[in-house]
Amino acid sequence: MSEDIYREIILDHYRNPRNKGSLPNADISIHDSNPLCGDEIDIHLKVEEDTIKDIKFEGRGCAISQASASMLTEQVINKPLNTIKDIAKEDILENIGLMNLGPARIKCALLSLKVLKLGMVKYYADRDPGSAKKIQDESKLY
């Protein structure tokens, strides 16, 4: 696909975000921001039998950070929670489809994945503190 098509996909997700909103009774709610620009993402997850039954995000910021969050929610809904640890930075950059992103823009694209991984680690750590270190090591983003 050409970069123009990817740009259209990003703008579509930015203007019509999927799975945006709050999630009452979420099992996981986690927040982070990009300190350089102030963009923010909150992710809420409902987990049943280790499967992501519902996911919502809230946030504000640039088109790449918000579109990336929207795409990520579509990617993980109805998947096992622990598949989050296998999502690599390269997978997100492939979704975004823009080559030659500078380091600041790469942080925009990865903000939601960082939040999602933090949430997953917290979920397992709350239930089984002994497993937290292992999951955290396996979930490294960089």
Binding of residue 72 to ligand FES (CB under 6 A) = no
H or E segment and range at residue 89: helix 89-96
Which of residues 110 and 135 has its CB atom nearest to ligand FES in the complex?
110
Nearest to residue 111, comparing CAs of 45, 36, 24, 51?
36
Which of 9, 62, 98, 125 forms a contact with ligand FES (CB under 6 A)?
62
H or E segment and range at residue 43: strand 40-48
Which of residues 34 and 139 has its CB atom nearest to ligand FES in the complex?
34
What is the rounded distance in angstroms from the CA atom of residue 101 to the CA atom of residue 66?
A: 16
Q: How many CB atoms lie within 10 A of CB 87?
A: 20
Binding of residue 112 to ligand FES (CB under 6 A) = no
Which of residues 17 and 61 has its CB atom nearest to ligand FES in the complex?
61
Which of 111, 113, 118, 120 forms a contact with ligand FES (CB under 6 A)?
111
Contact in structure between 29 and 42 (CB atoms under 8 Å)? yes
Indicate the length of the chain as a whole number: 142
CB of 66 to ligand FES, least distance (A): 9
Binding site for ligand FES (CB under 6 A): 34, 37, 39, 61-62, 64-65, 108, 111
